[in-house]
Amino acid sequence: MSKKIYLYGNWKMNMTAAETKKFFDEFSGVYKPADDLEVGVFSPFTSLWALAEGAKKCNVVFGAQNVYFEEKGAFTGEVSIPMLKEIGVKYVILGHSERRHIFGESDEMIAKKVKAVLDAGMIPVLCYGEKLEERESGNTFTVMERQLKSAIKDLTADEISKIIYAYEPVWAIGTGKSATSEQAQEVCEWSRKLIANPNVVILYGGSVKGSNAKELLSMKDIDGALVGGASLKPASFLEIYTAYKN
Ligand code: 13P
């Protein structure tokens, strides 16, 4: 059988609850489940109830884009793991470059979040990746080694194996200019070695769309895509899988 493809959509700060409902009304009409496909959708907190309803109906996984590591208390504006669990959330994107670079999340904070999510029996989708100037100055692997090692250094091998990893070069996010399949493969292969587990799931993210899906997803060490812009419409989202298959 062909490898399983993970097609995960990160909606970022898009999609109200009403728009989420509309998305799934449309999605349910066009989505054809397949044995080698796992679809996941990650919405803003306020749309999670609508997301849970739509995703369950369509049998796709769903999650949040962030969470705080403390259980409750004086943390104005934050959302806790028990709050997500109440809605049935099992997956949480952590360490996205927008959290790191716009909101100043440190490696240390991301590591605490990864640990808290795993402790709760949930699955982190851990994002990492270099900025353009870091790539151009030859520091791609130094930066990623720091990001990855800090997130997993206190975890057991079993915990490390549960994480879904997402390599997202910052310069490829929302720019329309994805990494080449060779660049993405090189990093994903290197990551698998660093993580020291040949079986972990590693996604590529950064301007993935129908037109570049086949070459990216055909690479040996790329297990799927974390999709931003193209995940906002059922047709452009699902086209990524069909383009890979055809
Ligand atoms: P784009 O697909 O819009 O480039 O976004 C990628 C991303 O950041 C997914 O997390």
Q: Which atom of ligand 1 is nearest to the CA of 176?
A: 4
State the total domains in the chain: 1
- Angle at CA of residue 37, ends 239 and 243, nearest 5°: 25
Ligand 1 geometric centre to CA of 166 (Å): 11
The dihedral formed by the CA atoms of 117, 119, 120 and 126, expressed in degrees to the nearest 10:
20
Q: pLDDT confidence of 2, banded at 50, 70, 90?
A: confident
Residue 4, beta-bridge partner list: none
Q: How far apart (Å, rounded) are the C-alpha atoms in residues 93 and 226? A: 10
Q: Give dist(CA 129, CA 98) in Å, integer.
A: 11
Residue with the nearest Cα to atom 5 of ligand 1?
A: 228
In this predicted structure, the answer to whether residue 1 has a pLDDT above a threshold of 70 is: no
Site to probe by mutation for ligand 1, drawn from 12, 202, 203 as the one with most ligand atoms within 8 Å of Cβ, is: 12
Q: Return d(Cα 65, Cα 44) in angstroms, integer.
A: 7
pLDDT tens, residue by residue, 4-59: 999 999 999 999 999 999 999 999 999 999 999 999 999 999 999 999 999 999 99
CA 97 to ligand 1: nearest atom = 8
Residue closest via CA to ligand 1's atom 2 equals 228
Name 63's bridge partners: 42, 91
Query: Per residue in 191-244, pLDDT tens?
Result: 999 999 999 999 999 999 999 999 999 999 999 999 999 999 999 999 999 999
Residues touching ligand 1 (Cβ under 6 Å) are 10, 96, 168, 173-174, 205-208, 226-230
Query: From CA 68, how far away is CA 236, in angstroms rounded?
Result: 31
101 is catalytic: no
What 3-state DSSP class applies to 127?
strand
Residue 143 predicted with pLDDT over 70:
yes
Atom of ligand 1 nearest to the CA of 207: 4
For the segment 162-184, what is each residue's pLDDT rounded down to a tens digit? 999 999 999 999 999 999 999 99
Note the pLDDT tens digit of each residue in 75-91.
999 999 999 999 999 99
**CA atoms within 13 A of residue 158's CA, in its CB half-sphere:** 3
Residue range of the domain that includes 139? 5-245
User: Packing angle between helix 140-152 and helix 107-119, nearest 10 degrees?
Assistant: 40
- What's the CATH code of the domain at 222? 3.20.20.70
pLDDT at 127: 98
130 among known catalytic residues: no
Q: What is the pLDDT of residues 89-140, one digit of tens each?
A: 999 999 999 999 999 999 999 999 999 999 999 999 999 999 999 999 999 9
